[in-house]
Structure 1
Amino acid sequence: MLYTIFRSLFRVFFRVFYRYQVIGREHIPAEGGTLLCCNHISNLDPPLLGSSIERKVRYMAKAELFKIPVLSFLIRSFGAFPVKRGGADRQVLKTSLALLKEGNVLGVFPEGTRSRTGELGKAFTGVGLFALKEECSVVPAAILGPYKLFKPIHVVIGKPIDMSDLRQEKVNSELAREATDRIMGHIEQLINQYKKAS
């Protein structure tokens, strides 16, 4: 209930102040575990991406944010779960895979941090592990900014990526990197295709 309320409020906010538009919303599967992978250019990206689709999106966020009373309430309401820095890889993987197995949408920003230039950066291989260890839909998305008041910002969602040829019983670092690079390649294609069309 709170998620729906906050999503509606964010949609109004983004429509009024950023005239946001969503392209390709129909590519989000109606149900089932979905890994939604997007570039990262601003702290506003999680609520913008979550506002762009009808299904609830879950995110990981650094644990320190959950110690700030008002912010903690907001990010929990908007589907975030805490991740501790340093040595928490196994727990992150366990929680993320559980969410996908339960049929949730897991939103991830493979670069791990915001791009100061707006250019696509190098991604961590964790997203490749998520994509290969769980039978889920892997959907690329791109936020085309920059965020400027009263200037349009676009969210472009691509078709699910076929990862079947990379999914094996044992996933090694090379497979994870290959899967990650494939995901980032699709995100880059979305960015380039939209720029050429606009």
Structure 2
Amino acid sequence: MISIYAIFQKAFWIIFYIVEKALFDLTVENRSGLNLAEMKGPYIVASNHKRRIDPFVIGLAFPLTNKIYPIRFMTADGFLKIPILAQYIRLMGGFPTYYKQGIDKSLELPLKILNEGVSVGYFPEGSMNKSDVLKEAKRGVAVLAFKSKAPILPVAIKYSG
């Protein structure tokens, strides 16, 4: 069964792809060792977090037909308190982090999502970090990988200019 967020992600992938090609210059580097055709998921897509558009940038790094889709990203609880933004985030598959409610509560939903065969997007630093120096990763991504047995797919985002 195809989920509503999978449909929205693919539709927005097309829109963002067109906008990116017209206005920006996204370059994906160092995918050596990744056989995209054989990727089946689910994965824990773990990335640094420099800008609010990072989930879209990560999405554009993979071909639309890749089995990694959909990717459901954890989002700060506060964004889900803004009605219009919350509706958009939910349509795209976003879900709350349950920040500061303990690791068990925080990982309950991503574990369920991974067990359903859907990839989870995770920012291990715990918040946006505009610096090129990574902050120490929170332990949640390692615990999530251990409990779910899902492989971690590391992603690094670097913006120029």
Is TM (by shorter chain) over 0.5? yes
Counting only pairs closer than 5 Å after superposition, residues 114-133 of structure 1 correspond to structure 2 as 114-133=128-147
Counting only pairs closer than 5 Å after superposition, residues 185-196 of structure 1 correspond to structure 2 as none
Unaligned 5+ runs, structure 2: 1-6
Find the residue that maps to 1:60 and give its secondary structure. strand
| Distance in structure 1 (CA, Å) of the matches to 2:56 and 2:47 | 13
Larger RCO: 1 or 2 (CA < 8 Å, sep 6+) = 2
Conserved in 1, the CA contact under 8 Å of 2:99 and 2:106? Answer: no
| Structure 1 residue 96 displacement after superposition | 1.0
1:37 matched to 2:46: yes
Deviations 1:146-188 (A, max 9, x none): 4x4xxxxxxxxxxxxxxxxxxxxxxxxxxxxxxxxxxxxxxxx
Q: Which has the higher strand share?
A: 1
Tell me the residue number matched to 2:20.
Answer: 14
Largest Rg, 1 or 2: 1
| Structure 1 residue 130 displacement after superposition | 0.9
Deviations 1:130-159 (A, max 9, x none): 11111212211111214x4xxxxxxxxxxx
TM-score normalized by structure 2?
0.80
TM-score normalized by structure 1?
0.66
Find the residue that maps to 2:96 and give its secondary structure. strand
Q: Which runs of 4+ in 1 moved over 4 A?
A: 25-29
% same residue: 27
1:134 is matched with which residue: 137, 148, 153?
Answer: 148
Give the aligned length: 147
Unaligned 5+ runs, structure 1: 149-198
